[in-house]
Structure 1
């Protein structure tokens, strides 16, 4: 199937070609035609399955031919759980929209930075990508109005609920007009997601993309190394240097570990940066920008901070610490092997981790080779 068969305009097809999308992924094949028809959507799809483009493309097309808004009454509202994801989604809108004849002003708003610049930029914004808390702040300041929202998107709704945004989301829902299109994406279908479905969506098109359809684990080469807790740091540095890794995302379990790992990497001549919730938004944005551009080859992140790290051809992911759940493991390794590209995921397994790692493999339905490194001299690392 090709993008031209989905009902997209010629200018959007050119934008897709410029982004080098070879063909639509399963979620795009189902979502794009349904959204263009004005249907509500409930999509269950993992990160890396192509869901962002599946709603961005038809929404941009819906703006073509409409008068340009110059007010503070946004037409499309996208709610997301984290600052990084807000920036990522807005960048996708801007990249696809840059070649369209009718421009669509898109703005990402989130906490952790000054609210005043965001308030000033809201004039004429038609697509607003927001975290719930900052959106409510802007609404209370009368900097933005939701009375003319035509399309509501909830992206990673399960994470918003897990992070405690339910009350804020309900306040936002109450301010929206009753007649609108609703698009909800979630990695899982929980009881709370079902409640939102019942109360928010009208006769939705149900789209469920299994992990293997979303191209998350199958294109990823997975390997694990059995190491002692004392070997983890030196072995990490050995891997990065011996495989000449130029871009690698390292996952850790805590902000303290992130800072410690970065300190040791830098001390050993490996440029690295930490990204976690205790960093300022400016520091997080700078770290991500340098990582994406290749200036900083190693980014060490916690799970929460990793939301919104979207690099199409990221070659390596390393689990320095294992995540708590198998779903988080799949989400982590899904940062590589995206959009049809191959990637490598490496896990460092201590004796205490081995039972948990077996559970992860069983839930994932895939066996990962556990290698015991032998004859490797870690002195100097």
Structure 2
């Protein structure tokens, strides 16, 4: 099998496979074509790919020869017209949001896989890009907040007086939220966290944060650990609790999302107006509507003296380590598509392969995506 590694379009700076991943795949008897400059933004030069056993070529050669094409994000519209029937596409392209792209893949009779639909199972943990990249996002969110906050995170005691530690509120205790809690605590902040899933309470408290508990949350074991839509009565109690904590917070980090749905609104414009001037909101859910009513995706705005940063792609700001984690996830997944002789082997009896496949043989293959497009 010939695997083609494509260069992502800026502002995406990550690369889907680093030279170490390429060497591993070459050892599995595959041929790797790397587009010139594919890893440059992630500090992996062409010579490193060549030394790993890949052929570094121009984009048109990758597109003409590769059986399977891989990059980090969804393809540009201009690239779609250059893809060939029967080719396989692999990236993190958010099919529940990019429905038109899913339909285009089906029309082109392309088999496509989206890494963000990897089943959240124990066997698939080593391929879970959502978790690995959320780790980066949670880390960077706290650093960004510290840069924009006009006060210290930790407590300081000196002859000039005592500086109280910052109060940080984290909304959503998934991977990004837990990482944000851990980093904020290491930086000396007082941290409180909210999540509708009571199962994460112990994890939150083990990191030294207080858990904001609201009784009556609906949980669904079939949701694979994700948050689910809540009742209106619960949402009202939830909002009251969040409003009280947000008004006292110096930093609010928003990470709450529901796969395939608009992000839940947790911080209204009225709550922003009640926050302390100089406070900071980091909204990691801004690309799906945002947890804060005043967030604007990929923008930093100031409202009522509060700095609101809408940023859904912090991993691209840490391209070296984010690519290392992403590339390991992709390489582990590709293992499932390669037989002992280095040939392509699509085993749809494998739950991970089946769950990650979005289109196949001209049809939308993934049942969840199919239900959204119906």
TM-score (norm 1): 0.33
